[in-house]
């Protein structure tokens, strides 16, 4: 956009904010939501807004339409979960479940036991073999547990551990944005 729009955007954001506040005070939630969307759009497109703030606002818009578009947030959550399931099936789950081995010694009345669980082996072979029903089921359990910040308890490869960690950060945030948008929709 041209430089001539710069003062207009900077001046419109506070006007939208005041109008939104007036509609909220008048208990008109749908009207207030429209002005909130307009305020955020002005802030997102205003070049005088700091770049980091504009990037954050742009991400908020892309992920959930400023917390007003539940379908957008749920769609992003579903896409993230799908990508995570595929990553787990292809690289995250070990080739086979590691078998723990226990050894012990008996000395008089004392038994000393040592249990050793080997590191999970990275999957190998063609990708088509990794796309099995059993691996899909295990991947789904890991992903669903990740959305609610619980550890799956599943032994994972290094790539799987990294994928689960990223999933535990991103997917609950997307779920929160979806809940926020649904709450806003119901409140209106």
pTM above 0.75, yes or no: no
Pick from 160, 182, 24: nearest CA to 89: 160
- Note the pLDDT of residue 119: 67
What is the chain's Cα-based Rg?
25
Question: Quick one: pLDDT at residue 181?
Answer: 84
Which residues, including other chains, have CB under 8 Å from residue 54's CB and lie 6 or more apart?
43, 44, 46
* Burial (CB count <10 Å: 0-12, 13-18, 19+), residue 114: exposed
For residue 2, what pLDDT is reported? 47
**Cβ atoms 161, 89 nearer than 8 A:** no
What is the pLDDT, as a whole number, of residue 76?
Answer: 92
pLDDT of residue 58: 94
Label residue 2 left, alpha or beta by phi (over 0 means left) and psi (-120 to 50 means alpha).
beta
> Could you say which residues of the chain have pLDDT below 70?
1-7, 97-103, 116-119, 149-153, 187-188
Q: Where are the domains of the chain?
A: 3-49, 71-104+126-187
């Amino acid at each position: 956009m041209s430089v001539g729009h710069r003062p207009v955007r900077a001046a419109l954001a506070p006007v939208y904010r005041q109008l939104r506040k007036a509609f909220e005070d008048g208990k008109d939630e749908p009207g207030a939501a429209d002005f909130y969307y307009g305020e955020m759009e002005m802030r997102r497109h205003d070049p005088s807004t700091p770049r980091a703030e504009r990037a954050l606002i742009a991400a908020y818009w892309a992920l959930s339409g400023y917390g007003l578009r539940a379908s957008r947030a749920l769609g992003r959550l579903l896409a993230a979960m799908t990508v995570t399931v595929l990553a787990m099936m292809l690289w995250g789950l070990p080739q086979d479940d590691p078998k723990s081995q226990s050894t012990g010694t008996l000395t008089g009345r004392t038994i000393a036991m040592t249990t050793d669980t080997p590191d999970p082996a990275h999957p190998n072979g063609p990708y088509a073999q990794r796309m099995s029903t059993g691996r899909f089921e295990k991947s789904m359990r890991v992903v669903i547990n990740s959305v609610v910040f619980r550890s799956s308890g599943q032994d994972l490869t290094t790539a799987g551990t990294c994928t689960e960690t990223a999933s535990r950060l991103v997917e609950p945030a997307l779920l929160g944005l979806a809940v926020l948008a649904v709450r806003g929709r119901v409140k209106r």
